[in-house]
């Protein structure tokens, strides 16, 4: 366990996980690592739900082979990169708080006399980030 309050801990985590992430990507597994969570993704095709589960199992097995301690208890809801992940039904949703924030940004942009490029870019980025909920099925390793 690393103390993530320390700036060095994030660096160590990145260095330790890099070989695992490289191995997974060589296997065709799409994943990200954030703090102590790994998110395994599959594109929305017919077998994608099973593929996501298979990839999740492969990553878990590799982590155990490498001596990692893997928390096998399943949490049903978790937040990752501003999205709510439901590991029970393997879905991603956009939290109401995020939707309200995007609506508020749109309202402010709509009624401003002038809009700065930076403000518009921030709004477009936030709106486009919600597309993740429509594009992937999910597996989570904690």
Q: What is the pLDDT of residue 6?
A: 62
Q: What is the pLDDT of residue 141?
A: 47
Q: pTM above 0.85?
A: no
Question: Is residue 78 within 8 Å of 140, Cβ to Cβ?
Answer: yes
Q: What is the pLDDT of residue 70?
A: 81
Q: What is the pLDDT of residue 104?
A: 94
Beta-bridged to residue 137, according to DSSP, are: 42
Q: What is the pLDDT of residues 22-32, one digit of tens each?
A: 999 999 888 88
Look up residue 117 and give its DSSP letter.
H
Query: What is the separation, in whole angstroms, between the first and last Cα of the chain?
Result: 13
Nearest to 126 by CA among 83, 84, 91, 90: 83
Look up residue 113 and give its DSSP letter.
S
Q: What is the pLDDT of residue 3?
A: 55
Q: What is the pLDDT of residues 32-61, one digit of tens each?
A: 887 677 777 766 554 566 787 788 889 889
**Cα atoms in the Cβ-side hemisphere of radius 13 Å centred on 125:** 8
72 or 106, which is more confident? Answer: 106
Q: What is the pLDDT of residue 116?
A: 93
Query: H or E element: which one contains 137?
Result: strand 137-141
Q: What is the pLDDT of residues 95-142, one digit of tens each?
A: 888 889 999 999 999 999 999 999 999 999 988 888 765 555 554 444
């Amino acid at each position: 366990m690393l103390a993530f309050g320390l700036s060095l801990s994030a660096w160590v985590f990145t260095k330790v996980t890099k070989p695992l992430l490289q191995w997974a990507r060589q296997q065709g597994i799409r994943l990200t690592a954030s703090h102590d969570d790994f998110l395994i993704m599959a594109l929305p095709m017919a077998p994608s739900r099973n593929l996501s589960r298979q990839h999740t199992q492969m990553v878990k097995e590799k982590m155990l082979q490498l001596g990692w301690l893997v928390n096998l208890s399943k949490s049903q809801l978790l937040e990752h990169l501003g999205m709510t992940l439901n590991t029970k039904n393997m879905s991603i949703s956009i939290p109401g708080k995020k939707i309200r924030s995007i609506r508020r940004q749109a309202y402010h942009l709509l009624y401003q006399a002038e809009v700065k490029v930076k403000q518009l870019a921030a709004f477009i980025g936030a709106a486009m980030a919600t597309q993740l909920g429509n594009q992937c099925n999910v597996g989570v390793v904690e």
